[in-house]
Amino acid sequence: QSALTQPASVSGSPGQSITISCTGTSSDVGSYKLVSWYQQHPGKAPKLMIYEVSKRPSGVSNRFSGSKSGNTASLTISGLQAEDEADYYCCSYAGSSTLVFGGGTKLTVL
């Protein structure tokens, strides 16, 4: 069970859109619609942003959206704002009642 692969960092200017990828295998991301995304600001607990690939919890801005194609899931943030600067983690069900996280992506808003 290996960690999902995310880019170490992405950046964008305010108002722009960015996409963070999360690549797994046919044993995890590719086999289940059970990918979630978390936002983590420094020194804080993670916060759920997307679940079941593309569903948004109540209270999360509609600027955040999720999708999946094959073994890769993606988180897109549109209309970037300064407060979106944070670390983002993907997470997938990996079968046999286990979960696996991605390595995390640091988003910088320029």
Contact present, 35 and 52 (Cβ < 8 Å)? yes
Six token digits for residue 31? 């086999």
Q: How far is CA 110 from CA 14, 53, 54, in A?
A: 7, 27, 26
Distance CA(66)–CA(17), nearest Å, equals 13
When binding is defined by CB under 8 A, the residue of 1, 10, 70, 83 that contacts another protein is: 1
Q: Does 91 bind another protein (CB under 8 A)?
A: yes
Window 53-72: contact mask with another protein (x via CB under 8 A): ----x---------------
Q: Does 38 bind another protein (CB under 8 A)?
A: yes
CB 13 to another protein: min, Å: 26
Size of the site for another protein (CB under 8 A): 24
